[in-house]
Amino acid sequence: MRKDFGARTWFYPLPVLIIASYDEKGNANAMNAAWGGIYDSNRVVLSLSADHKTTENIRARKAFTISFGDAAHVAACDYVGLVSGNDVPDKLKKAGFTTHKSRFVDAPVICELPMALECRLIKINEDGNIIGEIVNISADESVLGEDGLIDAAKLRPISFDPVHNYYLVLGEKVGNAFQDGNALK
Ligand SMILES: Cc1cc2nc3c(=O)[nH]c(=O)nc-3n(C[C@H](O)[C@H](O)[C@H](O)COP(=O)(O)O)c2cc1C
């Protein structure tokens, strides 16, 4: 037997994207977004409410970074999703996050979160969704594996579980993509 739950915004896995941006005066801000993902090759889409400080910032500076929330910073990642930079200008400081300017786009990179996509705004589409181009991906050495690439087991990115409002940790390898299915050919 299957149980029906009706129309809900339930999806696995939902990311915990920490979107960082500068306002017109150069103040850094960040928010938590679960509704976002890859839109096309080298492009991302974010579904952000128009009244967020982040949305205003991205419109003004035409750039943003996306860091992946990780297990080491759960409370800070949640906090930036609970309060607005419109009300708390030093929100990042309260979260315990520091930033440096991206070398590639006009947006801050959160130093404490080890992996970031550095993006330039391409457009805001007719539904108000933000489309960005990934200009660079940077990662702290601490999350690199022996092959020099990002090791998810070291990064420990978290996922938002919309069914129970939990954060779950990712990282366990259970297979090889584009390979394991060959066994069934
Ligand atoms: C788990 C989680 C996921 C969220 N996902 C989104 C989202 O996808 N889109 C959105 O507009 N707001 C989302 N929010 C709410 C914003 O992060 C929140 O309103 C934040 O205060 C906006 O900050 P800002 O005004 O400083 O930009 C989410 C919050 C949490 C805790």
pLDDT digits (tens, 9 = 90+) for 50-68: 999 999 999 999 999 999 9
**Ligand 1 near 54 CB (within 6 A):** yes
Q: How confident is the model at residue 155 (pLDDT cuts 50, 70, 90)?
A: very high
Nearest ligand 1 atom to the CA of 35 is 8
Residue with tokens 């309060």: 83
Q: What is the CATH number of the domain that holds 148?
A: 2.30.110.10
Query: Does any domain span residue 4?
Result: no
The pTM (predicted TM-score) of the whole model is 0.98
Number of domain units in the chain: 1
Q: Residue 33 falls within a domain, yes or no? A: yes
Domain limits for position 159: 14-184
Using a 6 Å cutoff on CB, does residue 49 contact ligand 1?
yes
Q: Over the stretch 14-45, which tens digit does the pLDDT of each residue have? A: 999 999 999 999 999 999 999 999 999 999 99
Residue 172 lies in a domain: yes
Tell me if 86 CB under 6 Å of ligand 1.
yes
Q: Is residue 119 scored above 90 in pLDDT?
A: yes
Distance separating alpha carbons of residues 68 and 1, to the nearest angstrom: 37
- 62 found inside a domain: yes
DSSP symbol at 128: S
For residue 5, is it within any domain?
no
How far does residue 146's CA lie from ligand 1's centre (Å)? 35
Contact 67, 115 (CB under 8 A): yes
| Residue 73, phi then psi, degrees to nearest 5 | -130, 40
Asked if the structure places residue 158 within a domain, the reply is yes
**Distance in Å, CA 34 to ligand 1 centroid:** 8
Flag whether 23 is in a domain: yes
Radius of gyration of the chain (CA): 17
- Work out whether strand 99-101 and strand 28-33 pair parallel, antiparallel, or are unpaired: unpaired
The average confidence (pLDDT) of the chain is: 97
The string of DSSP letters for 60-93 reads HHSEEEEEEPBGGGHHHHHHTTTS-TTT-TTHHH
Task: Name which residue sits closest to atom 19 of ligand 1, judged by CA.
Answer: 81
Q: Give the start-end residues of each E strand in 84-173.
A: 99-101, 108-110, 115-124, 130-139, 158-161, 166-169
Place of tokens 């750039």: 63
Q: Record the tokens describing residue 152, joined without a space.
A: 């998810």
Closest CA to ligand 1's atom 9:
48
* pLDDT given for residue 172 in this prediction: 86
Phi, psi values for residue 161, rounded to 5°: -95, 105
| Structural domain includes residue 129 | yes
